[in-house]
Structure 1
């Protein structure tokens, strides 16, 4: 705890003379002891090991088994397709892991290349990697901090630490300060400077107390480096499904082979049938279809400014019920903005945008003082300097008082720089007649050194009542979490010395400024809450400021719903997890606190999204179920640790992405239920025929062909369904919810059973046309061919038609629109055309043992095929009436 020690104690502990610095020999010795000042990552896995790691999945094992089976039965094309799917999935997995490693690499690149150090009594520039504990670092404005420092000297030093703390305003540093409280938040350690932060104002010196992985940013790197990858809900569901189908396929093979053995059937034929049915039981196209649906979803989401790095993250968004958002730059605009100005008895709320602002005489003088007593500049929508001063210059532009023109008209001839003790800054500028002192700073300090007030352009004596009014207004602004600055002036006929400037001033007024909320965020938060999603603000900023913003946005209602990092430390992990739902705002938090918050929400069974842009957000982005980084203001580290990047830095895009994620999961579920219904229909038709010693209604090659038709185009078309318009009116999906929840399993069973029974009925109808039935012996081959052609068409067509009813679990086809998914209509037309081609092209019908059907036959098979669709629509109608 270097921040709790005096400068002398720190220098003694590190054995260094600040006037001389380390000797070159001592520096070299320490470099060997502590190592280079570089962030380290875990050793990279080779591409080969990454590739083979992708095969550790039950569904992959089943697919490899299916490939072997299809080779055995001579279906080489199917075997090649299955192997291609497996290799494609492995390649996608390797690419995702490779991208994930970029987070650590981005952290490593953030270390600064060169630093000013004092060694052997001389200031020299060295590589930052050579900085060691005990080095004396010279800090000036515009230079990055190369390591964690205990400051030993500071002059108006301000350091921009938003990447670590989340605060939008640079932190003022004071080398003389000592913080005895061991729980002092990172942002309040005014006597410390941290690696990779930026000095924006003043100068200073510090002694290095930590380098490389021991720095605050190094701690973040360690958290990122931990292997905490978890399976997404989609991956868990597919893994569960893969296991079920794998065991089912093996069970079907064994059971049917045993039945055939006892029935004394042709064992070779039974073996081929059992193998074909096992392949049919596994929707081998499922991984490819899921990958395609997710990839198409990623493309669609990129059009709404959301870039998804990891495909399963698309689905994860759909189950999010907690959005933990950083405040600065995510919920707010990340730029200080003046929202109120006040001259005596004249408070004015500045509109957020539009309108040409016109100032009265007092306001003109107020703005003139603020602009001239400033070192910032703002041109072409870009500002340089202190954010507070930039905000004042921007306000001047809105009142047609440009910094450039005022500086040229009233040249600065003297100044008294800002001092953290005085909390004031003054400049002396030329006037048409004489000179004028312009002072800005803390309003209470200005009132102490003022004797007059400016009212309607006239100087009047400053009374206690007037002071009370100024302080009362300042307090009201502070209660609204505004940062308050006062302004005063003094006319003189000579150039004053700095110590003479801040005496007998005339107070003009004050302004209130804040990093304002993004205009569109409030509506987005309202929509998110309506969809059952709880927004949470996590920030390094002060508690009152954070709560004020949270109230405006509708995130929190009272101060009691907020908690600081120091207060979090008083809870045990178990107690914190139990009470986590009581809070909506977490302020003055460190990176470790952010991770703790995310983990506490996850402990309660929530699916958590974390948004952020700074280095300090990276560990929590990685810990969350889905990390969302800002594309414009986000650091490379945050982007590297995230699952999704918002190219417009717009919180509203997150809500749009959640809507898309919900629809994508719903579409994947539709595809899965459709595939299982189809495969179950095939299993029922074959299994019942074997069980009751009937002729088999379909040959192995016919089963594989139907699989090819139904497992591809219709399933993909369902995967790109436009989705339900009311999806954001529903609560987030329970992360433990199975694919078969909410009646989905029942629909799959009903659909599959209907398809299987109708296939058998079509087969029976075909036999009866020639005077045979299912129990007949010695059925001629031509009769079997006809009956199998009937069942072949019914099985395929019923599956294709049934896909229309799968689109929505409760709404009718007429409600969602028959042609609202043109891809699905196209898939059905193509599927029927292929079936027609299969039985009409002679060499194909001969190869698959099929025959041409008459117009009457086509009418009959289409009528059979429509039954599952019609029954399912009827059941949905009953369901809707029951809900009324």
Structure 2
């Protein structure tokens, strides 16, 4: 392209030695993460008959090299480290020079000095099997064309990877469109790329993608938290009512009491779980498998176990207090009775109120177990969720009001409970704190793996 050089104000022939010197300087710039532009000109006769590029772009006079840097943001290195920890594999695909791409990738911690960098010219010569293996083991591609980017994305998808592709220029649009999640830049992005994408970064910051992944995991985790809390509570009530009916006993809890528990005393903790702070180590876990279910075996087992323990606790309270106040359990440890008599009416009212208060007490203890799938409850930070603390306190106040305020008694069929009854309730509900979520979920995670 260049046959001469402008040096010290004079146009001189460009010798092979000078050419090698310039290429060495260019390589040095590239190794320091600088993007290099070469500038040249050629005087032309204005009467030249043919302005085709092949005719014009030759015999030029080299003027100089311009080196510039577009440094990565400070937070990119940390974001890449978080990606690696979270099981997300970042890959750089750029049109920059191989040496520039390597320098930038090493600067942000994407690769080491021993890592391989694959260029577009190498991609052109690779068969599909070879290219598939290269894509599995390469984190930096340089001097690539739009077709190469699209080929890389499709190869990753063929490996059953979930691919997110970022881009800003028009040449990124095909790959962005083909990816599972296309991400474009809102500030510098071309219109066609933004239209092809699923997500637009309004700040053009790679670290924002990592933050979005973390928020997505947090939201998904919190959905699972309140699902297992509410399902376990509902299952226990179903077990309890069904069992007592089958035994020929009166309902241990009335319909209005169940409605009050589900709407008032359960509702506030469930809402608080929806905004619970992320569990420690959230971004240190592998991504979920594509197609994995929200209601998986681990969650189902936790719901069944948690609900069954609550059913046992409520059954103990109900039958124990019937025995205490009546002397036996009608139809089980003694004869059937007239439930409208003074003795058994009193016994039933206290037993039902105790079951009502016991269900609430159990669930307000059990809710702390629903905050984690990886740790026992006593190893979690119980003070970092102010919303849940407030919700539990509200539920406690509502329950005490239902039990001790006289105008609530006829509405909910409750009676004031004695200290002895509270002792029975608390002792029966303590197992809620010892259900091991880390063991239950961990067992099914190991089976799935």
Task: Report the TM-score when normalising by structure 2.
Answer: 0.76
CA contact (8 A) 2:226 2:273 kept: yes
The equivalent of 2:243 in structure 1 is: 688
Q: Secondary structure at the match of 1:864?
A: helix
**Equivalent residues, number:** 415
1:253-311 Cα shifts (integer Å, max 9, x gaps): xxxxxxxxxxxxxxxxxxxxxxxxxxxxxxxxxxxxxxxxxxxxxxxxxxxxxxxxxxx
Counterpart residue number, 2:314: 759
Equivalent in the alignment of 1:787: 351
Q: Deviations over 1:522-567 (max 9, x none)?
A: 3322331122211123456677765664455444522348687856
**What is the deviation of 1:853?**
1.4
1:777 and 2:332 are equivalent in the alignment? no
CA distance in 1, matches of 2:151, 2:347: 71
Structure 2 residue 21 is matched with structure 1 residue 469: yes
| Matching of residues 726-875 of structure 1 within 5 Å | 726-739=281-294, 743-770=298-325, 771-773=327-329, 775=332, 776-778=335-337, 779=339, 780-872=344-436
Change (3 A) 1:611 1:798: same
Aligned in 2, Cα 1:713/1:621: closer, same or farther, shift over 3 Å? farther
Question: Structure 1 residues 719 and 637, CA, compared in 2 at 3 Å: closer, same or farther?
Answer: farther
Alignment-derived partner of residue 218 in structure 2: 663
RMSD: 4.2
Cα deviation 1:73-95 (Å, max 9, x = unaligned): xxxxxxxxxxxxxxxxxxxxxxx
Cα displacement (A) at 1:656: 2.1
Q: 1:541 to 1:783 in 2, by over 3 A?
A: same
**Please, which of 584, 588, 603 is the counterpart of residue 139 of structure 2?**
584
Q: 1:689 to 1:614 in 2, by over 3 A?
A: farther
Q: Is the 8 A contact 1:763 1:787 kept in 2?
A: yes
Check if 1:628 corresponds to 2:183.
Answer: yes
Equivalent residues of 2:375, 2:438 under 8 A apart:
no
The Cα of 1:716 is off from its aligned counterpart by 1.7
Q: Which ranges of structure 2 fall in alignment gaps of 5 or more residues?
A: 48-59, 444-449
CA–CA distance in structure 2, aligned partners of residues 762 and 799 of structure 1: 15
1:684–1:757 CA contact under 8 A, matched in 2 = no
In 2, Cα distance between the equivalents of 1:724 and 1:750?
Answer: 22
Please give the secondary structure, in 2, of the residue aligned with 1:607.
coil
| Contact 1:453–1:461 (Cα < 8 Å) also in 2 | no
Matches within 5 A, 1:176-575: 444-447=2-5, 468-474=20-26, 476-477=28-29, 482-485=35-38, 510-513=65-68, 516-539=71-94, 549-550=104-105, 552-555=107-110, 557-560=115-118, 571=128
Q: Distance in 1 between matches of 2:121 and 2:369?
A: 50
1:808–1:742: structure 2 CA closer, same or farther, 3 Å change rule?
farther
Query: Shift in Å at residue 673 of structure 1?
Result: 1.5
TM-score by length of 1: 0.41
1:790 Cα deviation after fit: 0.9
Within 2, Cα distance between the matches of 1:561 and 1:526?
A: 24
Tell me the CA shift for residue 645 of structure 1: 3.2
Distance in 2 separating the partners of 1:763 and 1:581: 61
Distance, in Å, in 2 between the alignment partners of 1:641 and 1:844 is 60
Which piece of structure 1 moves more, 861-870 or 817-826?
Answer: 861-870
One of 280, 294, 311 as aligned partner of 1:725: 280
Deviation at 1:857, TM superposition (A): 2.1
Deviation digits for residues 709-768 of structure 1, max 9, x if unmatched?
355221121121111232222222223433355844333222111111101111112211
Deviates more, 1:467-476 or 1:559-568: 559-568
CA contact (8 A) 2:35 2:96 kept: no
Equivalent-residue separation in structure 2 for 1:685 and 1:834 (angstroms): 23
Q: Please tell me whether the aligned partners of residues 551 and 558 of structure 1 are also in contact (alpha carbons under 8 angstroms).
A: no
Judge conservation of contact 2:157–2:163 (CA < 8 Å) in 1.
yes
